[in-house]
Chain A
Amino acid sequence: MWNNIKHYWKLLWHPSIHFSLGFLTIGGFIAGIIFWGGFNTAMEFTNTETFCISCHEMRDNVYNELQHTIHFTNRSGVRAKCSDCHVPHNWTDKIARKMQASKEVWGKLFGTINTREKFLNKRRELAEHEWARLKANDSLECRNCHNFDYMDFTAQSQRAAQQHSTALASGEKTCIDCHKGIAHELPDMSGVEGW
Chain B
Amino acid sequence: MNKIRLLFPALLLIAIVVFAEENITTLRPNQAITEEAEPPSMANVLNTDIRKERNYPMQPPIIPHKIRNYQVDLNTNKCMSCHSRERTQESQAPMVSVTHFMDRDGNFRAEISPRRYFCQQCHVTQSDSTPMVKNQFKDMYEVIETNKN
Does residue B41 face the partner (Cβ distance < 8 Å to A)? no
User: B82: shortest Cβ distance to chain A, in Å?
Assistant: 9
Instruction: Place the interface of chain B in its size category.
Output: 10 to 19
> A188, B81: Cβ atoms under 8 Å?
no
> Which of B49, B68, B76, B87 is A188 in contact with, Cβ under 8 Å?
B76
- Chain B residues contacting A157 (CB-CB under 8 Å) are 47-49, 65-66
**Bound-complex Cα distance A91 to B112 (A):** 48
- Chain A residues contacting B74 (CB-CB under 8 Å) are 188
CB-CB nearest in chain A for B74: A188
> A70, B68: Cβ atoms under 8 Å?
yes
Q: Within residues 139 to 186 of chain A, which ones have a CB less than 8 A from any CB in chain B?
A: 157-159, 162, 181-182, 185-186
> Which of B66, B75, B80 is A186 in contact with, Cβ under 8 Å?
B75
> B75, A188: Cβ atoms under 8 Å?
yes
> B65, A195: Cβ atoms under 8 Å?
no
- Chain A residues contacting B76 (CB-CB under 8 Å) are 181, 186-189, 195
Does residue A68 face the partner (Cβ distance < 8 Å to B)? yes
> B81, A194: Cβ atoms under 8 Å?
yes
- Chain A residues contacting B69 (CB-CB under 8 Å) are 68-70, 182
> Which of A69, A187, A194 is B87 in contact with, Cβ under 8 Å?
A194
> Which of B48, B71, B80 is A185 in contact with, Cβ under 8 Å?
B71
User: A127: shortest Cβ distance to chain B, in Å?
Assistant: 10
> A159, B65: Cβ atoms under 8 Å?
yes
**Bound-complex Cα distance A188 to B74 (A):** 8
User: A141: shortest Cβ distance to chain B, in Å?
Assistant: 19
Q: Within residues 55 to 82 of chain B, which ones have a CB less than 8 A from any CB in chain A?
A: 65-66, 68-69, 71, 74-76, 78, 80-81
Q: Within residues 73 to 108 of chain B, which ones have a CB less than 8 A from any CB in chain A?
A: 74-76, 78, 80-81, 87, 92
Residues on A facing B (Cβ under 8 Å): 68-70, 157-159, 162, 181-182, 185-189, 194-195
Residues on B facing A (Cβ under 8 Å): 47-49, 65-66, 68-69, 71, 74-76, 78, 80-81, 87, 92
Apart from A70-B68, A189-B75, what 11 extra A-B contacts exist at CB < 8 Å? Answer: A68-B69, A69-B69, A70-B69, A157-B65, A158-B48, A158-B49, A159-B65, A162-B92, A185-B75, A187-B75, A187-B76
23 A-B Cβ contacts within 8 A? A68-B69, A69-B69, A70-B68, A70-B69, A157-B47, A157-B48, A157-B65, A157-B66, A159-B49, A162-B92, A182-B69, A185-B71, A185-B75, A186-B75, A187-B75, A187-B76, A188-B74, A188-B76, A189-B75, A189-B76, A194-B87, A195-B76, A195-B81
